[in-house]
Amino acid sequence: MKDVFNGKRIAMGSLASLIGWLAIGTVMLAHASDLSFTSDFGPGEPGFASGGQSAAIRQAGAGNVANARQVGVNGLSIGQAGLANAATAQQSGVQNWQALSQSGNGNQYAGLQSGSYNTASTTQQGNGNHASIAQYGSANDSSVSQRGNGNQAAIIQAGSGSGIQIQQTGNGARALAIAR
């Protein structure tokens, strides 16, 4: 059986491989109150004291796809509800945290973090929303909140100690923020 992601056909066996791969990296799901330096309006981050990975992926609906890769001691949470939502999350370093919640149809997310103590929190409600985050360095915080249809947001941060928050309500809004 095949599924479609971003116009490309993928084998359903790759989803089983992803689940097995995440199961190897998932050691604990205990959460501390909030480890970020500024509020990220997302769920509490995992307690990293055990030295293991933390990953949770929840999906409801049909045709949703999630790909995640973590190297180091990091945590992520992906929740998708609806049809044909897609998420890709990649992290390397230590104590990075990504949290994503998408509801609706055809929403897309791509998050990349490297370094340490970076936090990315994204919430998308509606249809056809796109969010991208790339953070390099340490102690960067980003937050994207989109409600409506056809909204696009991108955050790129390089260096350390930056914080960006994008909030969009309505349809067809566009935002790009870059911090150095």
Give the C-alpha distances (Å, rounded to integers) separating 15 from 3, 50, 65, 80, 96. 10, 27, 8, 15, 24
Extents of the domains making up the chain: 2-179
Tokens (6 digits) for 180: 């150095």
Per residue in 65-95, pLDDT (tens digit) is 999 999 999 999 999 999 999 999 999 999 9
Instruction: Judge residue 165's burial from the number of C-beta atoms within 10 Å of its C-beta, 0-12 exposed, 13-18 middle, 19 or more buried.
Output: middle
Position 155 pLDDT exceeds 60? yes
Q: How far apart are CA 103 and CA 21, in angstroms?
A: 25
Q: How confident is the model at residue 180 (pLDDT cuts 50, 70, 90)?
A: confident
Q: Which residues contact 50 (CB under 8 A, 6 or more apart)?
A: 27, 28, 30
Q: Reduced to 3 states, what is the DSSP secondary structure of residue 17?
A: helix
Report phi then psi at 146, rounded to 5. -130, 125
Q: How confident is the model at residue 27 (pLDDT cuts 50, 70, 90)?
A: very low
Judging by DSSP bridges, how do beta strands 8-11 and 2-5 pair with one another? antiparallel
